[in-house]
Amino acid sequence: MPYFDAASSAPLHPVARQALLAALDEGWADPARLYREGRRARLLLDAAREAAAEAVGCRPDELVFTPSGTRAVHEGIAGALAGRRRAGRRLIVSAVEHSSVLHTAGAHEADGGTVTEVPVDRTGRIAPGAYAAALREAPDGVALACLQSANHEVGTLQPVAEAAEECAAAGVPLLVDAAQSLGWGPAEGNWSLLTASAHKWGGPAGVGLLAVRKGVRFRTVQPADERESGRSPGFENLPAIVAAAASLRAVRAEAAAEAERLRGLVDRIRARVPELVLEVEVVGDPERRLPHLVTFSCLYVDGEALLHELDRAEFSVSSGSSCTSSTLTPSHVLRAMGVLSEGNVRVSLPRGTAEAEVDRFLEVLPGVVADVREHLGAPKPAEAAPGPDPDPEPEPELVVDSLGKRCPIPVIELAKVIGEVPVGGVVTVLSDDEAARLDIPAWCEMRGQTYEGERPADRGVAYRVRRRA
């Protein structure tokens, strides 16, 4: 069964498995002890730290291991904010950061701090000079800025080196979340702090990395002990740490060749999906992106149903669609980009993915999408495109009541009636589904209609769409 969700968690690399089994026999003792078994464990821990630091591009004494990538983010942000409290309490983040960063920012706000969110364009990338502007326009002192190296949902690479220069010029440290990219190469630029997660590159789960450059003011806010420089207390999971470092070195050795191979497969998906499936938007930067990841959204498709049907066809994929969320709200990444969220599919190929598996995915996908659309009563492509005005004279304005209906039903009902108003006429969609705020404007963009905005309604929101074509 093809597994196409490496961005969530990559399969365990063979080198990680070998190192893990070996370290279970050799690295079970306390590395803080001076007897023989403890010294052996310390040698393994030191070697793992040196290997990981070399891959990150920092000194071994600047890097600590944490119980997860999320914990690395939490501890890195909290420690930098605490260490620079005198400089100010403002935190700068991009609008598409991983939830671990945004949750930490929320906790900082709840504690009295302030947060500036830097917007992105429709590809998910911050604009040149965006961090310099945010630093310049901040009404109070900035303690820390955060920027992911690559987006976890759409694969867009961020200009980390440029942002690091902008932050350095302002005397503000930059924390880089390199979870998605570290297996492909080191983060560029003069960053100050870096975090990563081993299971993203094929290491075992439960190991994170936190690097803090010398000279960065940092104060651990939780109770500390003598382990990991006091920045990540508790007994180290040494076998997992050894496996994480060994697999990071292994995937880096393979990265150039495998990136070229997977980029070719992803290029095929990016090109073929819009040809095979009508009403599709491929999102993310087409060039400046991770080599193994592609995301696309299908109009008139329930994301959860689509994922279930692909699973039945033996393909494991992920989604940022609101329809796959218990909160029924769109992915914050897709919302920040202003792109379609319904029927969203993220394909992230693990190392070793066969060309035949991608070909079979492309064979299966059109039928799966068609079946889901038919089940939902979506319009056929010919029906979705407004035809000539019928006789007698059509109504100049229609109201579609989609209150209580979840995505993609409001958009489906809009598509069915847009041809019933004359060119210049208006369709007003009433909806209480948060996804409509994103998907109706995205539908207008894709279908060549004019989105005129929203206004409050009795039990939801009224979205106005003017027929332009």
The residues annotated as belonging to the active site are: 323
Residue 13: DSSP 8-state? P
Neighbours of 62 (CB within 10 A): 19
The string of DSSP codes covering 350-374 is PTT--HHHHHHHHHHHHHHHHHHHH
Phi, psi at 57, each rounded to 5°: 95, 40
| Residue pointed to by tokens 């789960």 | 205
| Residue pointed to by tokens 């609101």 | 322
Distances in Å between the alpha carbon of 360 and those of 30, 121, 367?
A: 49, 33, 12
Please name the residue ranges forming H helices in 325-466: 332-337, 355-376, 381-384, 409-417, 436-447
Amino acid residing at 114: T
Q: Quote the CA–CA distance of 184 and 197 in Å, as a whole number.
A: 13
β-sheet bridge partners, residue 193:
175, 212
Q: Which long-range contacts (CB under 8 A, 24 or more apart) does 225-233 make?
A: 226/32, 227/32, 228/64, 228/65, 228/66, 229/61, 229/64, 231/64, 231/66, 231/75, 231/79, 232/64, 232/65, 232/66, 232/67, 232/71, 232/75
Amino acid residing at 459: R
| Residue pointed to by tokens 């590159």 | 201
Q: Residue 90 corresponds to which tokens in the numbers above?
A: 């403002």
Return the closest-CA partner of residue 277 out of 408, 378, 369.
369
The angle that helices 160-169 and 130-137 make with each other, rounded to 10 degrees, is 30
Q: What is the CA radius of gyration of the chain?
A: 25
Q: Quote the CA–CA distance of 107 and 78 in Å, as a whole number.
A: 10
Q: What region does 384 belong to: left with phi over 0, alpha with psi -120 to 50, or beta?
A: alpha
The string of DSSP codes covering 28-59 is -S-TT--SHHHHHHHHHHHHHHHHHHHHHTS-
